Structure 1
């Protein structure tokens, strides 16, 4: 019985996530088209609503091409590892009040551990392809992810100092009186920009720079191999926006000034906040040119790292001075 309930929970988390990933691709193309004064996908289905299904079917039936000089075992496993790691992170995300697969007490550490492991899928894909372009893209991506994970870790220390727990549900419940985005607005902005860099999104999409690296670490992949990388990237985007919602926007908690909306389910509040942050990802991609690689590294190591470390000392000193430590 326990096994059946666990499988049911997994399905109830994974299926909506896969649908969200599929329609996130459509939303991105539609929003960018609107910002560029064009229509976007509008042929397959009403208003183009079946376009993600058509894209998925196309990738599914295409021939999988395996490079003759590649290390085939690692080459095939790399996208599978990347996609699975993008999914298992969702085990500890509270999607609503009491709606979480595993409400463990070290949820923040679990998220940081899984995000660190995701580098291996990218590194192995670039190395096993036996292609200079793919390997350079993988190295860039690894360096970028490691650089911005440091600042993300220090930013989260500020939240943990205010909460006194590593449990994500506790982080949300602590924000019942005030969301952390208001007292910690500069940290929220740094977290959001770091999330862009962590997920290799524009203007930090250096690992997939078409101008110099063709397509980065997935240049040799086709069909379902490419699709798994694609799905993993969008799953990580939704994950980072969900974490921003949990840490700074009160998770599933409603906007208290809007008393008329108390009847809205907690999962809807969570989804609306996450969708708003995802819209920001698309808006930024449409608006800003790509950074140079030295600018990317300078921002991570010389700007975000000292600023996030300074905020740790500042928040800790405030909490100690007023005896507010939980």
Structure 2
């Protein structure tokens, strides 16, 4: 029973955050494009997400007469469930994960791959040419850019020598991986945009060509499932980017609690009163699980908000590209660059005797 309550306390904030990403996106884009975002429902529009969900759930569900209703309903469920399952291995702090095991990265790659089947089911079963074309586009795009993401993650594994997300975060206590791997970080962000079907890579749901893409015929609750799955994937990819490249729940070295604690000890070692302050500070931070958990969660959340803002910023700034350009960019530009780095980075690490993986 305690385990179930503990898991709910871990997952419920994630579900609420997924809802409020929609409000944050409309407010940020409204500010960037000089138009009003949601500002009426609740204080500063805070209840807009719940109003949208209630409106969509209460709408009448319309299903095509020639649709395969089993797959038509099952597709959105698969997409939503597998977009949320990835959060179970995310460490929100030391030991604060629903499922913390040694193959966390492989689990994330597997879960994100299965979500593609839900999109394919929904697009094929709707018996609509727009939905079917959108599903084919989305499937080809996701499969292509998953190769980009997995190749970038391979370089992170070479740096850390582990597939466990907590160990990868702990390995970034002194130096975040974004500093020696800035090109890989940028390529990973581009792959994350394509993986989540976000503009300028939202060709699977291009309104000018495919109406709404693979969920053209879906309404009411199935549409809400796709809607939540999209923003859940955005939040998940932002957290994964934070964990792999921005140190996860770790503060920068010069702001870390251990560094401040050691600095107080060095500067005021001879003053008894300051020594007492140092001991109390150390005890309050390190041995109070509630305080340390809240601080770790706040740090991870702040970094994730920055990546989510980058997603919104790109959508508000860049035009949509053609589908053939999207696929060509993946296979002829990003993939050769990543393969070059896959050969280059191990050579550099091996020359400095810093390769975490033994041969």
TM normalised by structure 1 equals 0.96
2:311 to 240, 264, 281: 281
Determine whether 1:316 maps to 2:353. no
* Residue in structure 1 matched with residue 225 of structure 2 by the alignment: 228
* Residue in structure 2 matched with residue 292 of structure 1 by the alignment: 322
* Distance in 1 of aligned mates of 2:2 and 2:78: 25
* Residue in structure 2 matched with residue 10 of structure 1 by the alignment: 7
Contact 1:14/1:87 (8 A) holds in 2: no
Secondary structure, counterpart of 1:86 in structure 2:
helix
1:302 to 332, 352, 357: 332
Contact 1:134/1:213 (8 A) holds in 2: yes
2:209 to 212, 219, 229: 212
The Cα of 1:14 is off from its aligned counterpart by: 2.5
Determine whether 1:151 maps to 2:148. yes
* Residue in structure 2 matched with residue 92 of structure 1 by the alignment: 89
Superposed CA deviations along residues 87-128 of structure 1, whole A, max 9, x for unmatched, are: 111111111222111111000100011111111000000000
Segments of 5+ residues of structure 2 without an aligned counterpart are 261-284, 286-293
Large movers: runs of 4+ above 4 Å? 259-264
More moved, 10-19 vs 32-41: 10-19
User: Larger Cα Rg: Structure 1 or Structure 2?
Assistant: 2
* Distance in 2 of aligned mates of 1:62 and 1:186: 46
* Distance in 2 of aligned mates of 1:227 and 1:250: 33
Secondary structure, counterpart of 2:353 in structure 1:
coil
Contact 1:155/1:191 (8 A) holds in 2: yes
* Distance in 2 of aligned mates of 1:108 and 1:22: 25
Superposed CA deviations along residues 197-220 of structure 1, whole A, max 9, x for unmatched, are: 000000000000000100000000
* Residue in structure 2 matched with residue 265 of structure 1 by the alignment: 295
How do residues 1-326 of structure 1 correspond to structure 2 at under 5 angstroms? 4-258=1-255, 265-326=295-356
* Distance in 2 of aligned mates of 1:46 and 1:5: 35
Alignment size in residue pairs = 323
More moved, 253-262 vs 29-38: 253-262
* Distance in 2 of aligned mates of 1:202 and 1:9: 36
TM normalised by structure 2 equals 0.88
The Cα of 1:225 is off from its aligned counterpart by: 0.4
* Residue in structure 1 matched with residue 280 of structure 2 by the alignment: none
The Cα of 1:272 is off from its aligned counterpart by: 0.3
Contact 1:252/1:270 (8 A) holds in 2: yes
* Distance in 1 of aligned mates of 2:240 and 2:118: 22
The Cα of 1:259 is off from its aligned counterpart by: 5.4
* Distance in 2 of aligned mates of 1:138 and 1:130: 12
Contact 2:175/2:253 (8 A) holds in 1: no
